[in-house]
Chain A
Amino acid sequence: MEEATGVLVGRRIREERERLGKKLEDLAGAIGVSGSYLSRMERGERGLDSLVLRRIAAELKVSMDRFFVPTSYESVHARSGEGSVAAMQQMIEWGRRVQDDLDFVLREGRGHAG
C-alpha cells in the first residue's frame, strides 16, 4: 500500500513538473534537495516527506492534494473573448483550485461516508 502511494505521488510530481516544463534539477534546487533525491522520489523509491511535498506543491503552484489523485490526463479549453492571456491564466488557476477542492471533498467524503 505504502509503495503504491509512493509510486503514484512520484508520477504525479513528475507530471506536474513536466506540465510546467521545469527541469528536474531546477525544481530540486528550488526546494533545496539534490537532483538524485528528487529523481528517486519521482520514481517512488523514496519515502514521502510532508515538508518536501509541501515545498514542491508551492513551487509548482498546485495543491498538495493533487499528488494523491491518479491523473492520466488533463485538458483545458478556455474561451477568452476579450480576455488577455494573463487573465485567462488567472482563470485557469482559479478553476484548477476549485477542481482540487472538489477532488478533496469527493475523496474525503467517500472516506467518511456514514
Chain B
Amino acid sequence: MQAEPPWMQGERAARALRHELGLGIAPVDIWEVLRRRDVYVALHDFGEAGGDGLYLWRGSEAGGVPLIVVNSAKRPSRQRFTAAHELGHHELHRFEAADVLIADEEVGATDGDEREVAANAFAAYLMVPTEDLRESVRAFGGSPSPVGLVGLMRRYGLSYQALAYRLRNTDLITQKTLDRLLADGEGQIDRLMRSQGFAEDAIFPAPVGVPELLSLGAMTLFKQHVITETRLAELLGMTVERALTTVRDAGMDRSEEPDYDAEAVRELLE
C-alpha cells in the first residue's frame, strides 16, 4: 500500500481539527482557532526583512508549552497564513523530536520538505476549505476576476496571491487563468481593496504582543509579591515604569504591603 502523500496528511489533519472544533466549512478566524486549541501566540516586530514565524514545542509526555511566534511586520494576511501553517506543525509534527528546522518556501509552493508541504496543505484547507471555495467560485459563474478575488480576500483573510494559488491547487481554475489573475492583479490589489472598502488588518484582528496568559500570570505573581517589579517588567517586555502603569491600569497593583516576609515564609513551608 502506498503511503499517504504529505499534502493529504495536512488536509486530513485540518478536516479533523475543523470537525473537532465544530467549524463546518465556514471561513475561520485563525487567532480564535489557536486560542481554542490552547496554543500560545506571540507577535513581535522582527522587521520586514525578518522571517515569517515559527513554531516551538517543548514538552514531556505529560504535556508541553506550544508557542507560535509571528512577525508582526508582515502583512496581516501573511501573518494569518503563517499562524495556520505553524498550527499545522503543532497538529502534525509536535511529537517528532526534531532539531531546529528552518524552511524557506514561497507562497503556493507544493514541493520541498514533506513536513512543509503537509503544514502548507493544512493551512490552506483550514483557512480555505475546498468545499466553501467551490461555492464561492460558482457564485462568480466559474471564472473569478481580480475584483472577485479581492472579495475572496475579505472572506478568508488571505492574500490575493495565496488565494490565486489555492484556486489552482484545488483545480477550480486552469493554469492560464492563474497566470491571468496574477498578471491582472499586479499593482492593482490595494486599489481594489480600497474600492471595496476593507483593510487587511480590520478583518480577524491579531492579538497583540506576548500571550495573554503570560501577561496576566506575571501581573498576578507581582500582586502576590512572588516576583519583583524588575522581573515583572522583564516578563512583560517593557520598562519598569511602563510595567507598573500597566499593572495599575489592569487593577492588579499591590494594594498593600504584606506585613510579613512572604518569601521567607514560603521557604520555611517548603
The interface of chain A, by Cβ under 8 A from chain B, is: 69-85, 87-88, 90-92, 94-96, 98-99, 101-106, 108-109, 112
Beta-carbon contact of B86 and A102 below 8 Å: no
CA distance A88 to B46 in the complex (A): 9
Q: Output the least CB separation between B106 and chain A (Å).
A: 9
Q: A71-B60, A73-B59, A99-B65 are in contact. Are A79 and B220 (CB under 8 A)?
A: no
Q: Output the least CB separation between A49 and chain B (Å).
A: 18
Q: Which residue of B lies closest to A104 (CB)?
A: B235
Interface residue ranges of B101-159 to A (CB < 8 Å): 101-105, 115, 119
Beta-carbon contact of B213 and A102 below 8 Å: yes
Instruction: Kindly identify which residue among B61, B86, B210, B227 contacts A79, using a CB–CB cutoff of 8 Å.
Output: B86
Hey, which chain B residues are within 8 Å of A76, CB to CB?
A: 54-57, 98-101
CA distance A79 to B46 in the complex (A): 13
Instruction: Kindly identify which residue among B47, B59, B104, B221 contacts A72, using a CB–CB cutoff of 8 Å.
Output: B59
Hey, which chain A residues are within 8 Å of B11, CB to CB?
A: none
Q: A75-B94, A77-B89, A87-B46 are in contact. Are A95 and B71 (CB under 8 A)?
A: no
Q: A71-B59, A75-B94, A75-B97 are in contact. Are A95 and B49 (CB under 8 A)?
A: no
The interface of chain B, by Cβ under 8 A from chain A, is: 40, 42, 44, 46-47, 49-62, 65, 67, 69, 71, 74, 82, 85-86, 89, 93-94, 96-105, 115, 119, 210-211, 213-214, 217-218, 220-221, 224, 226-227, 234-235
Say whether chain B's binding surface is mostly helix, strand, loop, or mixed: mixed
Beta-carbon contact of A109 and B221 below 8 Å: yes
Q: Which residue of B lies closest to A85 (CB)?
A: B102
Q: Which residue of A lies closest to B224 (CB)?
A: A112
Instruction: Kindly identify which residue among A75, A78, A98 contacts B57, using a CB–CB cutoff of 8 Å.
Output: A75
**12 A-B contact pairs sorted by A residue (CB < 8 Å):** A77-B54, A79-B105, A81-B105, A88-B54, A91-B69, A94-B44, A95-B56, A99-B56, A102-B213, A105-B221, A108-B226, A109-B220
CA distance A71 to B99 in the complex (A): 14
Beta-carbon contact of B101 and A78 below 8 Å: yes
Q: Output the least CB separation between A20 and chain B (Å).
A: 11
Query: A78-B101, A112-B221 provided; 14 other pairs, C-beta below 8 A?
Result: A72-B59, A73-B59, A77-B93, A77-B98, A78-B51, A82-B50, A83-B71, A91-B50, A95-B42, A98-B214, A101-B210, A104-B235, A106-B65, A108-B221
